[in-house]
Amino acid sequence: MRLRVDLLPHGNYPDVVVIVDVLRATTTAVAYLERGADALLLTATPEVALALRPEGESTPYLLGGERGGLPIPGFDFGNSPVEAAGQNFTGKTVVMNTTNGTGAAHTAAHSGKHVFLAALTNAHAAARRARAAATEEIAIVCAGTDNHVGLEDVYAAGVLAEYLLAMGEFSVDDGARIALTVRRNGGNPLEALGSSGHGAHLTRLGLSEDVRYAAGLSTSTIVPTLTRDDSTPDQTLKFTAG
C-alpha cells in the first residue's frame, strides 16, 4: 500500500483521497455534520452555491463559506467551526464554498474512488476510514492557501500519516516524509496552527477561537464522505457523515 502526501492538490488520484484544509473548511465540515446536518454540498464557486437558493424561494439549503477568511455576501454562515458547533443543523443541508478546500475536493473527486474530508478534529477516524477503504494508495491532499503550501495542513497530514503507519505497512513518498517530519518537530497542534501564516491571518481577523477549535485532536469520529447519487445538484459534491 502506498501513502502519499500532496503538499498542494495536483495530479490524479487512483484510489483513496483525504482532503485536508484544517483552517478551516474541513474542520467546519466535520462540525456541521457533528451538529446534525444531513449532508454538505461543496461547490467550486460561490455562484453555484448562490444559484441553489434563488432569492425569495424557499429551499432546504443553508449557505456557508468564506473568501480570504471573511463571510461571503448572501451566505448564512462564514466558515467558522466555532459558529457551526454552536448551532443545530438537524435536517439541514449546508452548501459550502471556501477559498481553497472546496476546490481541492473537486480536484480530488475528478479521479479519486473514495474521497474523505479530514481535519485534526477527526484525524483518527479519518485515518481508519481511509485505511479500510484503500486497496492500493491513500493520498492525503493538503488544500493550502491560494496555491501556497500551508503549514497547518502539512502538520495535519503528518498526524494522519502517523496514525496510518501505526495501522499497517506503507511505502511513503517524499511528501509523506516531509509531513511526518513537520508533525514530529512542529510542536503541539495549537503551536503548529498558531505559527502558520494562515493561523496568524485568522487571529488578526479576530478568529483565534477558530484556530483553537481546529487544534482539537480527534475530538470527533465523523468523517465527511463523498456520496455519489442522482439527487446531488449539478456542480456540487455531496458529503455525508461516515
- Distance (Å, rounded) from C-alpha 6 to C-alpha 141? 5
Task: Write the interaction track for a second copy spanning residues 121-150; mark x where CB under 8 A is met and - where it is not.
Answer: --------------------------xxxx
For 70, other C-beta atoms within 10 Å of its C-beta total 13
Shortest spacing between CB 21 and a second copy, in angstroms: 14
Q: For a second copy, which residue of 3, 7, 52, 62 counts as binding (CB under 8 A)?
A: 7
Q: Is 178 in the site for a second copy (CB under 8 A)?
A: yes
Q: Is 12 in the site for a second copy (CB under 8 A)?
A: no
Task: Write the interaction track for a second copy spanning residues 14-43; mark x where CB under 8 A is met and - where it is not.
Answer: ------------------------------
Measured in whole angstroms, the distance separating CA 120 from the mean position of its chain's CA atoms is 10
Q: Which burial class, exposed, middle or buried, applies to 56 when counting CB atoms under 10 A from its CB (0-12, 13-18, 19+)?
A: exposed
Q: Is 189 in the site for a second copy (CB under 8 A)?
A: no
- Distance (Å, rounded) from C-alpha 69 to C-alpha 213? 16
- Distance (Å, rounded) from C-alpha 86 to C-alpha 82? 6
Structure letter (DSSP) for residue 77:
B
Measured in whole angstroms, the distance separating CA 174 from the mean position of its chain's CA atoms is 22
On the CB side of 118, how many CA atoms lie within 13 Å of its CA? Answer: 35
Q: What are phi and psi of 184, to 5 degrees?
A: -75, -15
Shortest spacing between CB 156 and a second copy, in angstroms: 13
**Of the two residues 38 and 173, which places its CB atom closer to a second copy in the complex?**
173
Instruction: Specify the stretch interacting with a second copy by CB under 8 A; choose among 36-44, 48-56, 183-191, 231-239.
Output: 183-191
Residue 117: C-alpha distances to residues 53, 78, 125 (Å): 25, 18, 11
**Of the two residues 39 and 207, which places its CB atom closer to a second copy in the complex?**
207
Shortest spacing between CB 145 and a second copy, in angstroms: 8
Contact 194, 97 (CB under 8 A): no
**Of the two residues 115 and 151, which places its CB atom closer to a second copy in the complex?**
151
Q: For a second copy, which residue of 1, 173, 217, 219 counts as binding (CB under 8 A)?
A: 173
Structure letter (DSSP) for residue 187:
-
**With contacts defined by CB under 8 A, how many residues of the chain interact with a second copy?**
25
Binding site for a second copy (CB under 8 A): 6-8, 10-11, 147-151, 154, 173-175, 177-178, 181-182, 184-186, 195-198
